[in-house]
Structure 1
Amino acid sequence: MDDRMMKAVLFDRYGGPDVLYVGRAPRPEPARGEVLVRVRAFSVNGGELAARSGRLRLLTGRRFPQRTGLDFTGEVAALGAGVTRMTVGDRVWGVLGRTSGFGSAAEYVAVPAERIGRVPEGLDLVEAAALPVATTAVTALRDKAGLRRGERLLVRGAAGGVGNAAVQLGRAYGAEVTAIARAANLDFVRGLGAHRAVDRRSARPSDLGRFDVVLDTAGTDLRAFRRLLNPGGRMVTIAFDLDRPVSSLGSIAASGVHGRGRVRFFSGDPTQGHFDDLARHVVEGKLSPAVDRVFPLEETAAAHRALEAGGVRGKYVVSVA
């Protein structure tokens, strides 16, 4: 077998999960400042579904085949020139940067050294793949919202990848956590540490009370949830409504001009420091991986299909080994 090639999940056209297949792609070589990682597992994220379906085609273009996969865990296989803080064999996790696009759904990935961190000892690499996206929750609550002990936190999409981490971290930071999730997942989010769990289908925003911080992972009805903020409250969203992008982004922009509380929008772009923080939270027992189901690489399409169906508890993870 040609060791210059590797298995990778590809698609030749935009569409549903069935467009995904495991094919062959050139095995990357680490450039200066990069690390080659042998991928052990990755998780499936909403952004990948949007890209695969073509909803992000203005960004992803029309050149095929295209790749999928955003985060990963694995072992360092080779070092590019100038990399000194890692050694071959180190167990690492990471997220591809905004300029890198997708591509972690493969046997190998080359990534800048500052985009990865070491996985804590004792944490299984497949389970650990549920956690790189938790860096988004750390950034949202600590850096963007400045969540403080004793404040009231509302988490929308509390059973999902970022949401479940936000519930755990909110509790660890000393906040009173209200979690919104599907009815079938209410016990799950309570088990994560939520003080109050609310069925997203039956609860109206106006019935929820007031909050100091709202973390939104849905991107819909932003104005309604912004009205729940106390004076001095902060709302952070990591999503916007892809079905109504102009209205959704307009609501975010308008919040900075008038009304109660500005909506802070950002997309996760973690670096080494974020992964160091992530590892510390795990070691201190503040954060644990929540894996709903593990799929083999050949069933990546099934993992996409499951995430689209909704109801995930934590993360769907794909094992590459």
Structure 2
Amino acid sequence: MKAVQVMSYGAADVLRINEVTRPAPGTGEVLVSVEASSVNGHDVIVRAGGLKMVSGRRFPIGVGLDFAGVVAATGAGVEGYQVGDRVWGTVHPRQRHTTGGAAEYVVVPADRIAHAPADVSPVEAASLVVAGATALIALRDNAHLASGERILVRGAAGGVGTAAVQLAHAMGAHVTALARDRHARLLTGLGADEVFDYGSTTSDQIGPFDVIFDTVGTELNCYRSRLAKGGRMVTVALSASALAAIAASSVYGSRRIRTFSANPDTAVLRDLADRVASGALRPLVDGVYPLAEAAAAHQAFERGGVVGKQVIQVAA
């Protein structure tokens, strides 16, 4: 089978489409025939060597944290899934020393998948897995966003940002989005009450907010100061400067900058599917690339200025 793999750390051109052995599911595992996988920030950071302390120097490394596809086989002890079921799920980052979601087949534990939403395509489903789960876990479990609260979403036009705008709106919050001015109409349509151009808006011009959800990773301390009393700030950024700001903010107690690792389980994925089915969350796909053009999908992600996700279509 074909799989996208990192052969050495570097720019997108280090990605290769290699022939590898098709995996077989073990006890408690499911083999999925992958139809689509999205490009996530974690994929790009790992590929570039930004997390080599964790990912190590053993190559190849698989690409793709998420996937949507069809159950091809189940291992012993797996219940609730049959061959042919449409599913979506995630690959644990530490599992990817051979293949990730950007491959023709992937094996994952059954507790990392769920039945995919019925009314979206595999490409659309893949665009929502990590992005939607990250936003849901951040807002529901880390920020504890409540109806009537004011939330700022930084980087609101990206994959995680557009999911956060929609979910926050569905939770009853007053949503302020920070993004490029040209995305204002789209974000308003997704549920944003206000949209500010990030290029001409400074942190002291907006707020205060009960919750700040950041996907950018810059000026974190400046934005943290815009929290209202009892406010909470969550970032999904992994840059060195962001991690330093997170560590330094611990002195602020409940108003510190929080981060987390989004490793969604079946329960989260089912919740996400229910929100898609209810219309509270819809996919936004910026670009679709065949498996052979995975490097181009990474390059598009890194250029920025996109709306939604870059998706690698594995099977037509």
How does the TM-score come out when normalised to structure 2?
0.95
Following superposition, the deviation at residue 187 of structure 1 comes to 2.3
Alignment root-mean-square deviation, CA: 1.4
Contact 1:218/1:240 (<8 A) preserved: no
Q: Which residue number corresponds to residue 295 of structure 1?
A: 289
2:234 corresponds to: 236
Q: Does 205-214 or 49-58 show the bigger shift?
A: 49-58
**1:250 partner SS:** helix
* Corresponding position of 1:285: 279
Mapped pair 1:126 → 2:120: no
Partner of 1:3: none
Q: How does 1:8-27 map to 2 (within 5 A)?
A: 8-27=3-22
- Secondary structure of 1:240's match? coil
Deviation at 1:260, TM superposition (A): 7.4
Deviation of 1:259 (Å): 7.0
Alpha-carbon offset, residue 202 of structure 1: 1.0
> Is the 1:48–1:69 contact (alpha carbons within 8 Å) kept by the matching residues of 2?
yes
**Residue deviations 1:174-228, cap 9 Å, x none?**
1110011123322222221111111111110011120000001112211111101
- Aligned pairs, number: 312
Q: How far apart in 2 are the matches of 1:164 and 1:46?
A: 15
Correspondence for 2:193 among 148, 173, 195 = 195
For 1:266, the equivalent position in structure 2 comes to 260
CA distance in 2, matches of 1:312, 1:235: 24
Q: Secondary structure at the match of 2:222?
A: helix
Equivalent residues of 1:9, 1:22 under 8 A apart = yes
Rounded to whole Å, the distance in 2 between the matches of 1:113 and 1:51 is 25
User: More displaced, 59-68 or 158-167?
Assistant: 59-68
Deviations 1:69-94 (A, max 9, x none): 11000000000110012111110000
Q: Does 1:55 pair with 2:50?
A: yes
CA distance in 1, matches of 2:69, 2:285: 17
Instruction: Indicate the percent of aligned positions where both proteins have the same amino acid.
Output: 53
User: Which residue pairs with 2:76 in the alignment?
Assistant: 81
Normalised TM-score (structure 1): 0.94
Question: Among 145, 150, 153, which residue is 2:151 paired with?
Answer: 153
- 1:104 aligns to 2:101 (yes or no): yes
What's the CA shift string for 1:235-281, capped at 9, x where partnerless?
Answer: 1111132xxx2x43232123232377121110211000001100110
Q: Which amino acid aligns with 1:110?
A: V
C-alpha offsets along residues 35-90 of structure 1, whole Å, 9 cap, x if unaligned? 00000000001111111111221122222222211100000000011001211111
Do residues 116 (structure 1) and 116 (structure 2) align? no
Q: Distance in 1 between matches of 2:314 and 2:233?
A: 37
Q: Distance in 1 between matches of 2:307 and 2:28?
A: 36
| Residue number in structure 2 paired with 1:223 | 221
| Distance in 1 between residues matched to 2:94 and 2:60, nearest whole Å | 18
**Contact 2:117–2:125 (8 Å) recurs in 1:** no
Residue 147 to residue 260, structure 1, CA distance change in 2 (3 Å): closer
SS of 1:131's equivalent? helix
Unaligned runs of 5+ in 2: none
Counterpart-to-counterpart distance in 1, 2:249 and 2:20: 44
Bigger mean CA deviation after superposition, 187-196 or 300-309: 187-196
Per the TM alignment, residue 99 of structure 1 is displaced from its structure 2 partner at its CA by 3.1
